[in-house]
Chain A
């Protein structure tokens, strides 16, 4: 089921909410059971065949996590059971997400025939698999304290995050599910939650979806695009993805808030970033956090250990040497980003997308490490132009990489790049209305506070965001002006839902 569908808004959400708080009168367990049931219905709505996969994944992972937890006295057994559990998860992920593509590559590219039929990707498999792998590792490390089955199932299935994230950490969720107040209806949380949800819905239905037509047409026939056409399509896609993901993230936070649960922030105006490092701290934040915690850091640590064991330095000064930089920063960065690329899809274009961002990050780290921070202190007059330049450079780099992300194949991406380089001519054919609309979107992206900044005083997310500006009084209040503004947004969104489109991150 989609958050931006009539059945969700008019039927599922009211029933799920009413059932949750009504069943809470009979105890926390019944409320949790209701929410699990509702979440399973939510998950099975589109294709019930996926439900057994989710249930099997939960049962196996929970069972394995208990084995890991109870074998603490026997480290070898514990490590082996953790490896087995993680291996099973990755195997399932590989089978559903990559097997067909790999088989196709082996058959068509290498000539080694492997028979495989296309496999339908279970919704949200990357998200619930990653969530559970994180839990398994934390159990092994003794970090996971609350291990009740019901709370675990609720943690994995809670519908606001089930299909497209954010990727949750049990430490931030389990205590909330154990908290009494979570099960008591809160008018303020409901009001804040529904307001955030509506703002997200508006972003998705009104701002993101209408951009899709030109984008699809452009990426389907990149050879027809001139220099301006190719950049136009690439920029429109960046805006579509931005508002789509931003809208989804707001809706997830708003929904959780209605149930008195706070999610970590997943999206924090990434196009305002002044560097690629900052961009990844603001874009899909929970994925970055997850991969940092479970991939980048262990890898970097392993490199540091290796260097230490082999007599190479591991201090900050050693990082400034070429060898130190390449091994301690560039290598883990490139590997992590390659995996981020592959996490999004099996094609070569996704791998290159990851590697390109890896290269961006490596260059960004190199500038930071080798050149130091030269910026605003040395010349305060240059601060604003420099900021604008940094933001523009970062955004351009992101748009260039997104071409790989959106293209259906590497060949199409290359054709698109040719257009962006002007190799297909310079014909300009963009309507005035479209340009004005893009300008409006740009003002929203770069000139307005984000939803978290508008609603920040009520702490709707676990992560705090910096205030937008003290001079801009765009702070939500429960007054008639805001009610009307949000009401208009909801009404327009409800009208725009005709021909509901999926969230882009559902495919991952």
Chain B
């Protein structure tokens, strides 16, 4: 090709240099803005996370701390419980993230007497892209945590970690660098949707609400979410926890034992429709795995021995409890707490599925669903 070659080389070089300089300046400004002003444009999930993190960083977790995934996040209302409870479970949370969150909580002098963990079986089986899109993007985890996980995955020969592709579309170590160092592309959609700073007030409001509710963000009322029902997670394969998730789960339990904190595992309910998608052998394998851990770690106790299945009306989407459902579930836990002579002996007194009042809510157990 022969373009009109009437522009000097020097002019072209300075054109290209200026172009690159402008790219650097714009990216630099965007980088600074996204690193320091996330509350102005990120979705409200960010303020929920920030509120929970602020409770941990202020060492204000109370007597019972709840960690886990979004189902735990939606299921327990600290204000409905008789003790000072903090719900620190997060959307998309798996044992990996929760290990680091619990670790930072244990750095406080005042520690909770009891810790409650709750994960759906799927949290053990995959590494969610949310590890990057939420935990790292929201600033809860950084390069050192990601490096630690990457090395642990390599030690366990677990290839799943490197293969995960979050929203940015990258995988492997490049993905970790981009997320850990806050490459502005990971915020672009939110910058657009949040019109650069249009979410400032709503995030402030949400932050205060969640701090005030000791970590509980309402998932809404069932009636409002009628159109949003889904069947929850599909479980057609045998339960197969990833080595990396098992490793972090057990590391968490060991860390809590060393800290002298009693740990209970709660299984949150599924709706009847969602329960139908669950393979019985899958659930049995999941419970067997938790029982094995129960036996292995004296400081750990499984509170239930079956998967609770509740009426559809208690949920916003088949897997997450509505505010009414959360109140009901919290009431059940409250009865366990009330029955316990000592808060650390909660599990001795509490047979969660048989707790008074449970019959009216538990519409079917797994066997019934399968039949």
Contact surface of A with B, Cβ cutoff 8 Å: 5-6, 176, 181-182, 186-192, 194, 210, 256-257, 260-262, 433, 457-460, 478-480, 482-484, 486-488, 490-492, 494-500
Of the residues B13, B21, B184, contact of A487 by C-beta under 8 Å:
B21
| Chain B residues close to A by CB (< 8 Å) | 1-5, 7, 9, 11-23, 25-27, 30, 167-170, 174, 184-189, 191-192, 195
Cross-chain contact B20 with A182 (CB below 8 angstroms) = no
CB-based contact A457/B23 at 8 Å: no
In the complex the two chains form, is B3's CB within 8 Å of A483's CB? no
Closest chain-A Cβ to B31's Cβ sits at a distance in Å of 10
Whether A498 and B192, one on each chain, are in contact in the complex, defined by CB atoms closer than 8 angstroms, is no
Q: Which of A6, A190, A460 contacts B169 (CB 8 A)?
A: A6
Residue from B15, B18, B21 having most chain A Cβ neighbours under 10 A: B15
User: Are A181 and B26 in contact, CB atoms less than 8 angstroms apart?
Assistant: no
Instruction: Collect the chain A residues with CB atoms within 8 Å of residue B3's CB.
Output: 186, 188-189, 192, 257, 458-460
A490 near B188 with CB under 8 A, answer no
Q: Which of A5, A188, A260, A483 contacts B22 (CB 8 A)?
A: A483
Q: A495–B4 contact, CB under 8 A?
A: no
Give CA–CA (A262, B1) in the complex, Å. Answer: 6
CB distance from A28 to the nearest CB of B (A): 15
Q: Which residues of A contact B174 (CB under 8 A)?
A: 6
Contact present for B184 and A483 (CB under 8 Å): no
> Are B26 and A487 neighbours in the complex by a CB distance under 8 Å?
yes
Sampled A-B contacts (13; CB under 8 Å): A5-B169, A181-B2, A187-B12, A191-B16, A194-B16, A458-B4, A479-B15, A480-B18, A482-B15, A487-B25, A488-B22, A488-B26, A498-B185
Inter-chain contact B1/A495, CB cutoff 8 Å: no
Which residues on A sit within 8 Å (CB–CB) of B21?
Answer: 487
Q: How far is the CA of A478 from the CA of B168 in the complex (A)?
A: 33
Residues of B within 8 A of A186 (CB): 1, 3, 5
In the bound complex, how far is the Cα of B187 from the Cα of A484, in angstroms?
Answer: 23
A25 to chain B, nearest CB (A): 19
- B164 nearest CB across to chain A (Å): 14
Q: Are B1 and A260 in contact (CB under 8 A)?
A: yes
Report the bound CA distance from A482 to B12 in whole Å: 12
Chain A residues with Cβ below 8 Å from B22 are: 483-484, 486-488, 491
Q: Which residue of A lies closest to B18 (CB)?
A: A483
Bound Cα distance from A182 to B168, whole angstroms = 36
A478-B12, A498-B188, A499-B167 given; 5 more Cβ-contact pairs under 8 Å: A433-B195, A458-B3, A488-B26, A494-B27, A495-B185
Specify the chain A residue showing the minimal Cβ separation from B27.
A491
Q: A460: nearest residue on chain B (CB-CB)?
A: B3
What's the Cα separation between A479 and B26 when bound, in Å?
A: 18
B227 CB to nearest chain A CB (Å) = 10
| Cα distance, A55 to B144, chains bound together (Å) | 45
Q: In the complex the two chains form, is A499's CB within 8 Å of B169's CB?
A: yes
Q: B23 is contacted by which of A187, A459, A487 (Cβ under 8 Å)?
A: A487
Q: Is the CB of B1 within 8 A of A189?
A: yes
Closest to A479 in B: B15
Within 8 Å by CB of A495, from B18, B25, B188, lies B188
Residues of B within 8 A of A488 (CB): 22-23, 26
CA distance A194 to B191 in the complex (A): 27
User: Are A496 and B30 CB-contacts (below 8 A) given A186-B3, A187-B9, A487-B21?
Assistant: no
| B195 cross-chain contacts in A, Cβ below 8 A | 433
Q: Which residue from B1, B7, B16, B187 sits with its C-beta under 8 Å from A483? A: B16
- Minimum CB distance partner of B11 in chain A: A478
CB distance from A483 to the nearest CB of B (A): 4
In the complex, which residues of chain A have a beta carbon less than 8 angstroms from the beta carbon of B11?
478
The answer to whether A500 and B169 touch (CB under 8 A), given A478-B12, A484-B22, A487-B20, is yes
Q: Taking the nearest CB of chain A, how far is it from the CB of B129, in angstroms?
A: 11
Shortest Cβ gap from B26 to chain A (Å): 4
A186 to B3, CA, bound (A): 9
Q: A187-B12, A260-B1, A457-B4 known; A487 and B18 CB under 8 Å?
A: yes
B17 contact set on A, CB distance < 8 A: 483
Residues on the A chain within 8 Å of B169, using CB: 5-6, 497-500
